[in-house]
Structure 1
Amino acid sequence: MAELYSRRSFLAGVLTAGTLSAGAGYVLTRREPVTLTLATGADPTGARNLLVTMWNQLNPDALIRTETVPSSTGDQYEKFLSTDADIFNLDVIHIRRFADEGLIVPITPNLDISLLDEVRRLSERAGTGEFWAVPFNTDVGMLYRRVTDKAVADPEPSLKGVLAANPGQFVGQLETVSPQTDEAFVVNVLEQALAQDDAILTTDGVLSFSLGQWQEALGPLAAAIKGRRVRTEAGEADTTRTFQRSQLRYMRNWPVSYPAIDRAERTKVTTAEIRIGRLPTGIIGGQSLAVSAESKHRDVAEQAIHFLTNRSAQLLLAKYGFAPTGLDAYIDQRLAESLPHLKYIRYAVESSRPRPMHRNYAEFARVFAEHTHRYLYDGEQLTQRFIEDMQKELA
């Protein structure tokens, strides 16, 4: 994989082009220096931290201090509220709750990218021209497959077909052992249901409340787990280890894992390449940057967000494995040549579905995980109580 942007060359290039220059409003002159606090989850790639470093080099009087909150997606709400943040890097499932509770303020995008529709809808205030948060990176479930011989035809498979025709050769985040892994479990179960019935969850994130529909959609997965025809792991890291150590053919994971997995697997004599494709209906995720309602420096925070989410930033994030939010990165010629798999990520984003965007999402996810886990592993049938519990939390 070619090296597109080193730290030095990327910064030099965008400065030369004027993208991050004073003319674009990113170099701020202030009488009184300020420090912005950015509350965010961990960044295993280093790309987000690199963008923050670039901002700080350009704006020594308006520094960003990153406060990394070591938490799972599920408990991000409580953890973030314990910080004195100016900017929140919110997982998409938390945007509605932060907005409804007045914890963040609207922001008018000053973007030089064309957001994909599926990404934009997660953060915008419909009909206002404003966003509750500006998309930083997107994410979507992908189907990984191991290729042992490039000369052999390898058509893109479907998740439904993989589960039915390749016993023991697929691994996904289909187990959960604690709140740390619950959300990955919920997402994977939803994707398995969508593989059987794409009407189980609409493009607006509205769930079906038909018990029979859920029983039919999850029946094949329950049978596969019972018959040990699918490998189940709790969380993305364990899934990756099982895929690599057992030389499995297929895996469900997020695109940010692809560069590292592909590099590692190509060193094996028996692996020619790792390819990724659609599920075909994956769950969309990602993070977005929002201005805290408690911030005393909202104007500076907005400028910082525009910097961290612009077109040049998207190119850098894509190079490090993140799924870009806007069309420009997907059609950039240099990226297309160096990262040909990006087009498959775009296809996956454009055919994705969101989880229910509801302020009470965390409670919905809890009851969904409890019911479906008992069904898949304990043989406890889904009943009308499953439907009623979901309806109650999403009312």
Structure 2
Amino acid sequence: MRSTPAGEYVFAEKRIEGRPVAAVLSEQIPALIKGLSFSRPMRWGDLDFRFIRPIRWLLSLLGSEVVDFELGGLKPGRLTYGLRNFSSDPLTIDSVKEYFKKLKDVSVILDQEERKQMIWDLSQEEADLVEGQVLPDDDLLEEITHLVECPTPLSGSFDSRFLKLPPEVVITPMREHQRYFPVWDERGKLLSHFIACANGPVNKELVRRGNEKVLRARLQDAEFFFLEDLKTPLEENVEKLKKVVHMEGLGTVYDKVQRLVSISRHLSHVLGLTDNQRGVAERAAYLCKADLVTSVVFEFPELQGIMGGYYAKVSQENKDVCRAIRDHYMPRFAGDKVPISKPAAVVAMADKIDNLTGCFALGLEPTGSQDPFALRRQAWVSAISSSIRNSIFLWRN
């Protein structure tokens, strides 16, 4: 019992003796591996152990000593392997220091940052060969870094007729489906070239032809979808939204469009937009979801809004309406751009207000750990919306 300024307390002293590092690691390493989470783990044979892919071998060293444990019917040793297509012989690793070097000798760049820099530098070199450049794309670069162990970027080309399509229609299959870098000229114009990244020392010409063949098929599909969509004026697609459910309890997307028109009309009045700007906002609100039933957006959902802007232009809508349709999903994420024009900002806010009020009315409120409908991101109090609110303040003052 001890006296403290806060009163009398009972104190106990507990001593925990230290243990050898190897003994602690033999318990912690398998627990760490088993603790990794995957959306679709797999199980092999009669084992209960689940992982993203089969574990073929285990290498676990503390200095020059093997750390002993058991995982998925395997025990660690000193052996590892390089890329199986280029090196089938096992490597004996005697210490951690030689691990990186021996793997590099058999076409495995273990250091993630080194691998990323290799991809970027070699991709730029390939782009230089076709008198183009690769623009920074951190997300794509990060993904490719985790897809290959020994990066071998190579350039390919496609029929220049596809450059007549909207750039997004060409870039999206390259980037999202094939993980290619698009190539641009110095003026920011898309070129009929791409940079793919193979894994390990390969026959570049053979791999190039294969990638060109795959991309050609995808671009032909995209071209077909786009040309088919152009046969129907954008306004005619609005009626089709009556058959598309927005969310259970909130009606169809057509019902949502009617709400967007009403909210946009109210916001335009509150914010003091001119009659012309009000007309643009209401027209954009009416058409902004029409591209959801088009073939291109069905195939590439990430192009919603963007394609609506293109289709509106082809349908000879006012250029401000086209811009508002294109921008009404902004900002999509923290740090994203906000709509430039006032009508576009009005429709963007109307869309987010409808999402927020609808979800809260259904009891779909975010919790401390879950926010499946990204309501926080759409809320006015969120950081990404602050720039819109500031713009409103400036307009009104």
Shorter-chain TM-score: which interval? Answer: under 0.3
Bigger-Rg structure (1/2): 2
- By relative contact order (CA 8 Å, sep 6+), the higher-ranking structure is 1
More helix by share: 2
Identify, as 1 or 2, the structure richer in strand: 1
TM-score by length of 2: 0.25
TM-score, with normalisation over the residues of structure 1? 0.25
